[in-house]
Structure 1
Amino acid sequence: MYKRHFYRTGNHSGAWDDLPANANELDTLIEAARKKIEPWLSAVFQAEHLNLLVGSGFTTAVGYVAGAAATGMGKVTFGTTYDAAIDAHAQAGATAMKRGTANIEDQFRSALALLDGLGVIDKAAEKTLKDAIDARLSGFLASLLKTESGIATGKDLAARAAAQRLLQSFLLSFASRAASRERLHVFTTNYDRLIEHGCDGAGLRIIDRFVGALSPVFRASRVEVDVHYNPPGIRGEPRFMEGVIRLTKLHGSLDWFFDKDERRIYRSGIPFGAPVDHTDIPKSPVDTVMIYPNPAKDVETTQYPYAELFRDFAAAACRPNAVVVTYGYGYGDDHVNRVLVDMLTIPSTHLVVIAYAADDRLKAFLEKTRDAQVSLLLGPHFADLETLSTNYLPKPALDYISGRMAELLKHRPADPTGSASAVFAPPAIS
């Protein structure tokens, strides 16, 4: 079933082991697949409720085009006497979640759990471990900013422009929804601000839980705010403003901070791709920077704000006629997978998976689902951002003019002479 390149959309499927080297044969193969995939995705993207879930593969794909190195998730060394215990605990957690080899996130989870325990029994050891975690977390934040900087200000101007174009085209393909449909809701497990950066370039407005202009504050109360306008000459019939999306960062963000004095979470104005020595980047981030698995060490904030964020995810996905499209998500987060499995218990929901490969984690997830509710676009061909945006994603625009023209031609009487000019002739002026 899982070839190197494989697609399954609706009642159509296709698979091939290797792409042909001949350009003409490749174009023919792409065109045949496009005729089936693009119309299907166009219909899916106009579902009543559309959600996009992106993971680290999304940043990797954009960074590859821009020539920027992606943030590494490899394991680190804390340099303490507890390293072996931390690694063992991290590996046990990764194995339980079927993630395979533990990565830096697993290590941070284990180290922070140990830090809480040491705070009870050994204050000196707690400080030593905290300093080590601060150093590794600072390095991780620096690598995130370096990736952002490579995408935004890379030396190769052509590659940088291509990455920006693909990023904006990708987001607009999802965001271009009819006014009768609910807003696109984007969810991400990434800590970087690539989506926000792409939305700024594409002119998309973002609605999230933060309120404020100078120092936006996270609000726990979910208010269904939106952006509307009144067409000229029409009263009492506000319409959705185009170019608005909702955004939820499930694992937090590198510019989210916890203010201990005010006991609130706010978003700092750290520029995209800022230098590591930016004044708003703390030297001791373990207690302040709100990135999962690093909530501030406080009883109130242990589950806050992540509980609210995941409630948003479950509420958006687990309802009738909802669609979730995943791109660059590795299906290694058990808490995210659980929501997706629950969603698919509703017969009218659908999941579209766009992934570089079908690894063990994705296969294990698919075994819990029904084939009729899952569409697959697997392999380097479909995961390539250029190929995907150019050939398979719907046109990133709401082309009302072409649609209206098609309707007019459909209902217009056929010209008996067969002349095309008669069909498109302008009306006579009397």
Structure 2
Amino acid sequence: ASRTGTRDRLQIFTTNYDRFIEAGAELAGLHLLDRFVGSLSPIFRSSRLDVDMHYNPPGIRGEPRYLEGVARFTKLHGSLDWINIGQNIRRIGLPLGAGSIDPYLKAPGLAGADALQLMIYPNSAKDRETAAYPYVDLFRDFAAAVCRPNSTVITYGYSFGDEHINRVIEDMLTIPSTHLVVIAYDDPLGRIMQTYKKLGRDAQITLLIGDHLGDFQTLVNNYLPKPAIDRTTFRMTELLKSRGITGQAESQEKKNDSDGGEIVV
């Protein structure tokens, strides 16, 4: 997300329900763009346009510039703070690490809401109409982001257990200029290698599997290229240092599971 504003926005897709990415972005001072509109009780909009963030440089009028430190963010399987109320999908003010959701469902406008209305997919209790919305819009965003020339998709902690996502990736690889990079701690169920063989596009797929390459701290410190040194990166680095985020080694290695992971475009 430290790339200059003139380049295409980084796009992050996750199958996890939690809000760790949102929390990390907030600590780093990043802006995440999604399909929700509003501040007090954000509502999901299918008609969302390609909204972005701009600013006017000091002393210059009529020449807005793209704001740096912005990424597009999509939660393909819903979220713990999304709720279906009154035929609308709203995001509620659920604090990170809250022990129970019940107290936060008593806010004005959420009368009659309960935990069964949380938008988490898949859920056999949903009927066909609910299952199609809003997930059909989210997967449309995913397909539009990856199925285009020169796209590079990086998966981390994703073991290819979702056939909807796998089909989109398979379609993407029919474009010769695209590439898939798979980073995983291990492959206990063998799904990654099965998918690799099924796709049959060795030249377009890079596998980084193992407890060494799959360890996020090791990967960032030793293998990934350093971000461009621009004003935005410098400000982000200083902000993280002031909050004591950088330099802290993770005590527990992150392992991938069958239903959670991140996808970056």
TM range (shorter): 0.7 to 0.9
- Residue matched to 1:366: 196
In structure 1, C-alpha distance between the alignment counterparts of 2:55 and 2:69, rounded to whole Å: 13
Query: Per-residue deviation at 1:271?
Result: 0.2
Structure number with the higher strand fraction is 2
Contact 1:352 1:376 in 2 (8 A): yes
Contact 2:152 2:178 in 1 (8 A): yes
- Residue matched to 2:17: 191
Q: Kindly report the root-mean-square deviation, in angstroms, between the aligned alpha carbons of the 2 structures.
A: 2.0
TM-score, normalising length: structure 2: 0.79
Find the residue that maps to 1:352 and give its secondary structure: strand
Find the residue that maps to 2:104 and give its secondary structure: coil
Structure number with the higher helix fraction is 1
Cα distance 1:322–1:295, how it changes in 2: closer, same or farther (>3 A)? farther
Query: Per-residue deviation at 1:184?
Result: 0.6
- Residue matched to 1:292: 121
Identity over the aligned pairs, expressed in percent? 60
Q: Does 1:215 align with 2:44?
A: no
- Residue matched to 1:381: 212
Q: Does 1:322 align with 2:151?
A: yes
Query: Per-residue deviation at 1:267?
Result: 0.4
TM-score, normalising length: structure 1: 0.49
- Residue matched to 2:79: 253
- Residue matched to 1:279: 103
- Residue matched to 2:253: none
In structure 2, C-alpha distance between the alignment counterparts of 1:230 and 1:369, rounded to whole Å: 48
In structure 2, C-alpha distance between the alignment counterparts of 1:299 and 1:334, rounded to whole Å: 18
**After superposition, where does 1:139-158 map in structure 2 within 5 Å?**
none
**After superposition, where does 1:300-319 map in structure 2 within 5 Å?**
300-319=129-148
Query: Per-residue deviation at 1:276?
Result: 2.2
- Residue matched to 1:115: none
Residues 88-135 of structure 1, C-alpha deviation per residue, up to 9 Å, x if partnerless? xxxxxxxxxxxxxxxxxxxxxxxxxxxxxxxxxxxxxxxxxxxxxxxx
| Larger of the two Rg values belongs to structure | 1
| Structure 1: unaligned runs, 5 residues or longer | 1-174, 402-430
Question: What letter matches 1:274 in structure 2?
Answer: A
* 1:354 pairs with one of 156, 172, 183: 183
In structure 1, C-alpha distance between the alignment counterparts of 2:62 and 2:125, rounded to whole Å: 46
Query: Per-residue deviation at 1:266?
Result: 0.1
In structure 1, C-alpha distance between the alignment counterparts of 2:13 and 2:131, rounded to whole Å: 21
Residues 267-323 of structure 1, C-alpha deviation per residue, up to 9 Å, x if partnerless? 01000001226502599533x110001387455323100000000000000001111
Q: Would you say how many aligned residue pairs link Structure 1 and Structure 2?
A: 223
Find the residue that maps to 2:213 and give its secondary structure: helix
Residues 373-393 of structure 1, C-alpha deviation per residue, up to 9 Å, x if partnerless? 112211100111111111112
- Residue matched to 1:267: 91
Deviation >4 Å, runs of 4+: 281-284
| Structure 2: unaligned runs, 5 residues or longer | 107-112, 232-265
In structure 2, C-alpha distance between the alignment counterparts of 1:330 and 1:352, rounded to whole Å: 12
Query: Per-residue deviation at 1:230?
Result: 2.1
Query: Per-residue deviation at 1:232?
Result: 2.8
Find the residue that maps to 2:212 and give its secondary structure: helix
Contact 1:258 1:296 in 2 (8 A): no
Contact 1:254 1:290 in 2 (8 A): yes
Contact 2:94 2:101 in 1 (8 A): no
Residues 57-85 of structure 1, C-alpha deviation per residue, up to 9 Å, x if partnerless? xxxxxxxxxxxxxxxxxxxxxxxxxxxxx
Contact 2:101 2:115 in 1 (8 A): no
Cα distance 1:208–1:296, how it changes in 2: closer, same or farther (>3 A)? farther
Q: Does 1:179 align with 2:5?
A: yes
Question: What letter matches 1:350 in structure 2?
Answer: H
Find the residue that maps to 2:32 and give its secondary structure: strand
